[in-house]
Amino acid sequence: LVRASLAIAAAAASKNDEDVQQPSVRGGFVADAIRSESIGKQSTTSTSAGATDINDPTGRELQPTAYCSCSTCTQAMWDTYAGAHQCGARIEYKSSQWGGGLSHNDACLFVSNEFPTTCGPACHPDLCEATDPPTPAPVVPQPKCGCESCTAEVWYHPAGGSHPCGDRIEYKMSEWGGNLSEEDACRFVSNEYPNDECGPFCNPDQCNLTPEPSPAPTTARPTSSPTKMTTDSPTPQPSDPPVTATPTSSPVVLKYCGCHDCTDAVWSTMAGAHSCGDRITFMKSQWGGNLPEEEACAYVSAEFPSTCGPHCDPSTCDGRCP
């Protein structure tokens, strides 16, 4: 009985010890939770009140990036897609040697005019609402191609439904397009797209430059000598009028591929992403294989038989038998 009593007393004492320790353990858990919640509130309060990036070791507020000297040309606008490429990528391309080597400002102007509703006023140095220092008086732009009618609107107008007129002319002036002079490049593209705005407006041979005024004709002062009296001798019989020879017809010059059917309209017809004429010209260049004109015409006509095909194929055009 004594041993049983001692065992019961020991068990009761052990249970009391557990009851005393459990509140302290639970109290520790509660303290940890309160401490964690306090730290979270301090972090949230610091971030919202200071509006700074807690990952910035300097503690300074990060400023947005602006381009084209325009506060509105932000990084988000720079990354906006205009067609298949971003506004920023297009501007950087126009600044590169492959895009024309334009200055950053001119590249921004070019792309903003080409995509006025996408990259447009936000990255247009002349139209954006940037608080820049006053610019000097604008320089009057020189007319392109020696034509007053070849304005910026015409220069950026798509020719053939794809590339702008100015891009095509600049390409023909580059080493990849033939290193033509500006006048020859303007003439080439204008003849290639005679029905588009490139045609008459940027053609050095057809554009309407204002001619220099011709001097007024000088009228000779009348002499004071008297007029001689008429004689009574009869007027001689008029001789027969000279016979004018019938003019001979000038020889017809075949313009493209030695074919009458290969007209300017067919030459400018789009075959895929490029016109028939562009494709034939490329095949004649060193990058296309240096083919003779006849072989280049036959190659492209076989590649696009329903577009360039029978009209510009030297073996089948003008009703010839293949």
Q: pLDDT per residue over 36-78, tens digit each? A: 444 444 443 333 333 334 344 444 444 457 899 999 999 999 9
Whether residue 106 is contained in a domain is answered as yes
Whether residue 12 is contained in a domain is answered as no
Whether residue 50 is contained in a domain is answered as no
Q: Which residue has the higher pLDDT, 225 or 100?
A: 100
Mean pLDDT across the stretch 6-35?
49
Whether residue 119 is contained in a domain is answered as yes
Whether residue 307 is contained in a domain is answered as yes
Residues 71 and 114 in one domain: yes
Burial of 247 (0-12, 13-18, 19+ CB in 10 A): exposed
**197 conformational bin, left if phi > 0, alpha if psi -120 to 50, beta if neither:** alpha
Q: What is the reported pLDDT for 153?
A: 83
Residues 269 and 309 in one domain: yes
Q: What is the reported pLDDT for 206?
A: 84
- pLDDT above 90: residue 111: yes
Measure the CA angle with vertex 14, ends 12 and 17; round to 5°.
Answer: 115
Whether residue 193 is contained in a domain is answered as yes
Of 35-49, 204-218, 226-240, the poorest mean pLDDT is in 35-49
- pLDDT above 70: residue 219: no
In which domain, by residue range, is 311 found? 264-319
From the list 140, 143, 139, 168, the residue with the least C-alpha distance to 153 is 143
Q: What is the reported pLDDT for 217?
A: 56
Whether residue 241 is contained in a domain is answered as no
Pairing of strands 66-67, 270-271: unpaired
Whether residue 187 is contained in a domain is answered as yes
Does the predicted model carry a pTM greater than 0.75?
no
Tell which of 155, 186, 201 closes a domain. 201
Tell which of 186, 201, 216 closes a domain. 201
Q: What is the reported pLDDT for 169?
A: 92
From the list 178, 197, 198, the residue with the least C-alpha distance to 186 is 198
Indicate the SS3 state at residue 85. Answer: strand
Q: How many domains is the chain built from?
A: 3
